[in-house]
Amino acid sequence: MRCPANPLGWCKLVRMQIQRHKILLGVTGGIAAYKSADLVRRLREREFDVRVVMTSGACEFVTPLTFQALSGNLVHRDLFDEQAESAMGHIQLARWADYVLVAPATADFMAKLAGGRADDLLTTLCLATTAPLILAPSMNKQMWRNVATSNNLRLLLSRGVRVIGPVEGDQACGDKGEGRMTEPADIAEVMHRWVGRGCLSGLSVLVTAGPTQEALDPVRYLSNHSSGKMGYAVAAAAADAGATVKLVSGPTSLATPFGVERFSAVSALDMHRCVMENILGSNIFIGAAAVADYSPAEPAEKKIKKSSDGISISLHKTRDILADVASLKSRPFTVGFAAETENVETYARSKLSSKGIDLIAANDVSKSDRGFESNDNELYLYWKGGSKVLGLGPKIQVARKFIDVIADLYHEKYPA
Chain-centre distance of CA 190, in angstroms? 8
B/e letters for 260-290, b = 16+ CB within 10 Å, e = fewer, are: bebbebbbbbbbbebbeebbeebbbbbbbbb
User: 410 by DSSP, 3-state: which?
Assistant: helix
| CA 383 – CA 186 distance, rounded (Å) | 33
Q: Looking at 11, 173, 199, 274, which residue is catalytic?
A: 173
Q: Residue count of the chain, please give it.
A: 416
Helix axes 107-115 and 121-128, enclosed angle (nearest 10): 40
H helices present in 58-130, as ranges: 64-71, 82-85, 89-96, 107-115, 121-128
Other Cβ atoms closer than 10 A to 56? 12
| Closest by CA position to 268, among listed 196, 199, 212, 191 | 212
| CA 73 – CA 210 distance, rounded (Å) | 46
Do strands 204-209 and 22-27 pair parallel, antiparallel, or not at all (unpaired)? unpaired
Across the chain, how many H-helices and E-strands are there?
Answer: 15, 19
CB distance 301 to 222 below 8 Å = no
Q: Give yes or no: 173 in active site.
A: yes
User: Residue 415, preceding bond cis, omega within 30 degrees?
Assistant: no
| Closest by CA position to 339, among listed 227, 216, 220, 194 | 227
| CA 50 – CA 70 distance, rounded (Å) | 9
Active site residue ranges: 173
